[in-house]
Structure 1
Amino acid sequence: MESIDHAILLGAVVMTLGILLGVFSARFGVPFLLVFLGVGMLSGVDGPGGIRFANTWLSFLVGNIALAVILLDGGLRTRFATFRVALRPSLSLATVGVAITAGLVGLFASWMLGIDWKLGLLLGAIVGSTDAAAVFSLLNGSGIRLKERVASVLEIESGINDPMAIFLTLTLIEWITAPHGMTPAALAWRLVVQFGVGGVLGAALGYCLANVMERVHVAEGLQAILVCAGGCMVFAIVQSLHGSGFLAVYLTGMIVGNRERAVTDDTMRAMDGLAWLAQSVMFLLLGLLVTPSQLWDIALPAGAVALFLMFVARPLAVGVALLPFRFSRREKAFVAWMGLRGAVPIVLSLFPLLKGMEDSGLLFRMAFAVVLASLLCQGTTVALAARLARVLRPGYAEPLSRERLQGTREPALELMQFLVAANAPVENLRADQLELPPRCRLMTVVREGALVPLDQVILRAGDAASVLAPGGSVPLLSRLFLTAARPPAWDQVSHDFLLSGDALLRDVAALYGTRVLTPAEHALTLEHAMLAVFPSPPVEGDAVEIAGLRLTVTRMEGPKIVQVGLLLPRGPATADAVKDRMWRLRRRAP
């Protein structure tokens, strides 16, 4: 009994220490996951904790369960709309990108370590895929807002690239241990089973779980546990049929999360806690499993492999995989830098250990060192890389609270509460004078703890205003209620005024354009003209130039551009030409 008490106390102390150190280190940009990994290593046999832990099977079990929960949580937060702009490039990265990365790293590692090229390729396959836990954690916890296309590609790629890495890893293990049993047909069939069974069963079982969640009403805490249990059940069923349980559980989460009444906001908050618990336990155990003193023996070659992966293999793989999709150089560079390695490579490196392969210990230590280097170099520079690559969306303050209303059509309506800021654009305006975005309505105003009638209220700083609005209107509402009005720098604004996407291009170009429209452009609306120019489906924040007009997508509803920002010409010559054209038009007016 005493040993059990000590084990519980030790586990609680280690977990608490990891969370507290993570909160402190987050101020310096150090990822939480790296802190938990470090705490696990310090608690192990070479650290002050002195815990002797060498249970590979338990680490493998916990790692698989934790990854299933993390991918389920990521799927629950993925909207179907993101597939409009991200599915094809993500699929290319998850297949072609992983294969190229594994091949390049494998050949380099075999040369650097002086090992058989098959063993080098196995190491390349182990570290070839990005890690969902690391990507989801850093994107959600870094406080940055990425452009929708870039964020969606990173999230979906990390959620669906595990089947390719597992296929390559298991195939190479079998090739090394039993080289005569491999045929091209067997390889092709294994790849089809990994993706096919995982995709089909993941979608089918996800549909069943979504129906169950819509019909079973329990407390939010139990609902989150029910979702987790269902996701783990899907993972186990698909894995037992030799499909990719990781792909299946991600698709299951996505189908459940996109069903209107399957999960509530409270359930999502509970799932967030469960996902963090899964990540924390997994990284602590993996940190305990490694012997830090043995990492020094391979520090130099492991560092070289990690640098080759980050600066050569991953960028080349991203460049080839995204070549058909016309991403900008900056976007490709950021996607390449966000190829974070985390728990997945470490879990995959346990396969050779469980098989008892020769040099399996070397593969495990190399994978662990590469993960450490990736989290330390890439994980701590996410915000800096996003700023340098210019893939950030304009920031905005979040409302005090927001609740999604059930039963509303997409985009779903939410009830949001804003605390009116001093000098905000809405301050000192009557309620009936507010120019809110479409489908937005002011519901209540609370002042000094009392409701104020809307027919006579003049908004003041400190008022709590409740607004019923679509979720996508938060940035615009935030600028109205929470941002102090100040004139922006003339050369830094994205637009001078807003136009409807249905406005005719010829009418706008007649006033502000600097070239004559082509016959094909003459009959187009702003929306159709912009869609014809964009190389891929646009997202909010994307800009394009047509006839000298700088046009920015400011609001979308699904694939439709409903609002466009127009930036007036800035050069002296073009500005004078626009003024002269407006003067001539005024003189012609009756």
Structure 2
Amino acid sequence: MGTLLLAFAGLLLLAVLLSSLAHRTILSTAALFLLAGFVLGDGVLGVVSITAEDEVVGTLAELALFAVLFTDGMRVGWADLRGAWRLPGRALGWGLPLTLVITALLAHYLIGLGWIESLLIGAVLAPTDPVFAAALVGNEKVPPRLRQLLNVESGVNDGLALPFVMVFLALAAGSRNLHLGELGLELGLGLLIGVAVPWLAIKLEQTRWFSASTAYEPLNALAIGLLVLALGKATHGNLFLAAFAAGITVATFGQRQREAFEHFGELIAELFKLAALLVFGALITPALLGSVGWTGWLFAVLALVAARPIAIWISFLGSGLSMREQAAVAWFGPKGFASVVYGLIVLSSGIAAASQEFQLIAVTIVLSILLHSSTDIVVARWFDDERDVPAWYGAARRLRDRVRQEPTP
């Protein structure tokens, strides 16, 4: 544990020192932590020795996913969803399940996994991560509707994929261990806690007896999140659904609390993300990468270049998006942090196919991080008009526009 903490602290300092460079180039902080975990893990240097059975793996995965779902939910209150639902609705209502199904078909027919295990891996790899499309989302020359689409979709699909992961994981554990009533109670209780706790906390602060100071305002949402986490653990409600519901509830009823917590919350979530990526990388060994065989690598490639693009193409038929916009949405379906944590949950679940599923998930995520984090700037430049044409043509066009604006004698 001490070695893991030392490695994380050193890498975090390095990431901070390189953060300005990373924003201007294809250098990826996520890729840095993933690669460092791989090199420091048992498969290479053996500095960070960790296994799936270690308590830190399950605990870190749980806390990291809770933090990320809470902050994701806080980005998309009901007002945001109602105001920007047309295009994100296609990506979430059609694109997400279609990606899940196509990925499952690949796992079943290419790898030979059973249907339940194939659907589980499809659910794990269905969510997208906005981190690797940062250059695209942050480029003002990219159409606003496209940036909004990617932001809303990636903020919501982690939570939407969660029930599928839980149900398929329960089914994969075997029919003897599956109790749909208990599972439904767990999900329902999580949803109730996630809505009731933040709503009551916000309403209390709005009364004349309570008022948070400016200095403590960012801690309000943190306290709400911790209370939701504690109640979920105590009552065995689903922590992840509770986190996502709590974030949406804060965004819907507490705009002030949302704005005060936004930057602080993103930093907390980022810390957990990077720690989970380090652990995930340490669990990936050269032996694991080699054991998947050519069919495993082919599955990973097709999961990136076929499953998401086909699903997006079908989902956006008749949507009015240009081919360039559809191509950008189709490509930027990177398998990011949610898939990392869902993969860790599958690995530590004890199901018969846990090791094989984790191997396939791992190689797909590794490919995704390397490919998507190194192409976001390139794809973003598609939408930069000044880069799409030669310099002389841009100068000629500006001269033409200036002549047109001059009054005729």
Which TM bucket (shorter chain)?
A: 0.7 to 0.9
Is 2:301 aligned against 1:307? Answer: yes
| Equivalence for 2:237 | 241
Matched, 1:207 2:199: yes
Distance 2:183 2:398 in 1: 53
Q: Alpha carbons of 1:72 and 1:359: their partners in 2 closer, same or farther (altered >3 Å)?
A: closer
Alpha-carbon distance, 1:314 to partner? 0.4
8 Å contact kept, 1:45–1:52:
yes
Q: State the alpha-carbon separation in 2 of the partners of residues 7 and 346 from structure 1.
A: 18
Q: Is 1:158 paired with 2:154?
A: yes
Unaligned runs of 5+ in 2: 387-393
Q: 1:262 pairs with 252, 257, 271, which one?
A: 257
1:370 to 353, 364, 369: 364
From the superposition, tell whether residues 376 and 492 of structure 1 become closer, same or farther in structure 2 (CA, over 3 Å). Answer: farther
* Counterpart contact for 1:144–1:383, Cα < 8 Å: no
Partner residue of 1:115 out of 96, 113, 116: 113
Structure-2 change in CA distance of 1:224 and 1:93 (3 Å): same
**Contact 1:234 1:248 survives alignment (8 Å):** no
d(CA) in 1 for partners of 2:243 and 2:205? Answer: 21
Q: In the TM superposition, what is the alpha-carbon distance from 1:233 to its structure 2 partner?
A: 3.2
Q: Which position in structure 2 is the counterpart of 1:358? A: 352
Partner of 2:36: 39
Query: 1:315, 1:225 → 2: CA distance?
Result: 41
Return structure 1 stretches of 4+ with deviation > 6 angstroms.
180-183, 189-193, 196-200
Are the aligned partners of 2:42 and 2:285 in contact in 1 as well (CA < 8 Å)? yes
The alpha-carbon deviation at position 382 of structure 1 amounts to: 1.3
Q: Deviations over 1:96-125 (max 9, x none)?
A: 322211211122122322333432332222
> Normalising by the residue count of structure 2, what TM-score does the alignment of the two structures yield?
0.79
Q: 1:200-252: CA deviations, max 9, x gaps?
A: 764554433444566542464x4434422312433565684347235314313
Counterpart amino acid of residue 248 in structure 2: L
Gaps of 5+ in 1: 395-487, 497-567, 571-578, 584-590
Report if the CA contact (8 A) 1:44-1:289 is conserved: yes
Change (3 A) 1:43 1:26: farther
Higher fraction of helix? 2
* Superposition deviation, residue 264 in structure 1: 5.7
Q: Could you list the per-position Cα deviations for residues 287-319 of structure 1 after superposition, in whole angstroms to 9, with x for gaps in the alignment?
A: 223334321222633332222122211012112
Q: Tell me the amino acid that sits aligned with residue 334 of structure 1.
A: A
Give 1:14 shift. 3.8
Please give the per-residue CA displacement for 1:165-208, whole angstroms capped at 9, x wherever unaligned. Answer: 2332233333334348889xx69x978995x7777764554433
Contact 1:167–1:191 under 8 Å retained in 2: no
Shift of residue 10, structure 1, vs aligned partner: 4.4
Q: Measured at CA, do residues 142 and 164 of structure 1 come closer, stay the same or move farther in structure 2, by a change above 3 Å? A: closer
CA distance, structure 2, for counterparts of residue 328 and residue 233 of structure 1: 45
Cα distance in 1, alignment partners of residues 135 and 66 from structure 2: 18
Displacement after TM superposition at 1:90 (Å): 2.4
Aligned to 2:247: 250
Q: Please name the residue that 1:139 is paired with.
A: 134
Stretch deviating more after TM superposition (228-237 or 107-116): 228-237
Give the distance between the partners of 1:125 and 1:263, measured in 2 at CA: 29
| 1: CA distance, partners of 2:80 / 2:144 | 8
Distance 2:343 2:317 in 1: 31
Distance (Å, rounded) in 2 between the aligned partners of 1:271 and 1:125: 26
Aligned to 1:287: 281
Q: What is residue 391 of structure 2 aligned with on the other side?
A: none
Q: Any idea what the Cα deviations from partners look like across 1:460-514, whole Å, max 9, x if unmatched? A: xxxxxxxxxxxxxxxxxxxxxxxxxxxx857469x99xxxxxxxxxxxxxxxxxx
Using CA pairs under 8 Å that are at least 6 residues apart, name the structure with larger relative contact order, 1 or 2.
2
8 Å CA contact 2:218, 2:257 repeated in 1: no
Matched length: 394
- Please list the CA deviations of residues 67-117 of structure 1 after superposition, one character each: whole Å capped at 9, or x if unmatched: 332343344455776435532432442343222112111221223223334
> Which secondary structure state, in structure 2, belongs to the residue aligned with residue 304 of structure 1?
helix
Q: Deviations over 1:418-466 (max 9, x none)?
A: xxxxxxxxxxxxxxxxxxxxxxxxxxxxxxxxxxxxxxxxxxxxxxxxx
Distance 1:372 1:299, change over 3 A: farther
Quickly say closer, same or farther: Cα 1:378–1:492, change in 2 above 3 A.
farther
Counterpart secondary structure, 2:85: helix
Give the superposition deviation at 1:337.
1.2
Aligned-residue sequence identity (percent) comes to 22
Say yes or no: does 1:273 pair with 2:271. Answer: no
In structure 2, how many angstroms separate the alpha carbons of the residues matched to 1:319 and 1:201?
Answer: 37
Does the CA-based 8 Å contact 2:332-2:372 persist in structure 1?
yes
Q: Distance in 2 between matches of 1:229 and 1:159?
A: 22
| Change in 2 beyond 3 A, CA 1:157/1:248 | same
Please give the per-residue CA displacement for 1:349-404, whole angstroms capped at 9, x wherever unaligned. Answer: 2333333111211111211111111111122211222332x3x699xxxxxxxxxx
Contact 1:71/1:246 (<8 A) preserved: yes
Q: Assess if the C-alpha contact under 8 Å between 1:74 and 1:250 holds in 2.
A: yes
For 1:15, the aligned partner's letter is L
**Structure 1 residues 229, 95: CA separation in 2 closer, same or farther (over 3 Å shift)?**
farther
Aligned position for 1:149: 145
The answer as to whether partners of 1:353 and 1:360 remain within 8 angstroms in 2 is yes
Q: CA RMSD in A?
A: 4.1
**Which residue of 224, 229, 239 maps to 1:230?**
224
1:323 aligns with 2:317: yes
Which position in structure 2 is the counterpart of 1:167? 163
Q: Does 1:48 align with 2:52?
A: no
Secondary structure (helix, strand or coil) at the match of 2:139 reads: coil
Larger radius of gyration, structure 1 or 2? 1
**Aligned in 2, Cα 1:301/1:229: closer, same or farther, shift over 3 Å?**
farther
CA contact (8 A) 1:97 1:318 kept: yes
Instruction: Name the residue aligned to 1:125.
Output: 123
8 Å CA contact retained: 1:105, 1:309: yes
Aligned to 2:94: 96
1:369 corresponds to which letter in structure 2? Answer: V
Q: Is the 8 A contact 1:346 1:364 kept in 2?
A: no
Superposed CA offset, 1:560-589 (max 9, x none): xxxxxxxx8x9xxxxxxxx9xxx9xxxxxx
Q: Relative to 1, partners in 2 of residues 1:150 and 1:105: Cα closer, same or farther, differing over 3 Å?
A: same
Question: Does the CA contact (< 8 Å) of 1:66 and 1:282 recur in 2?
Answer: yes
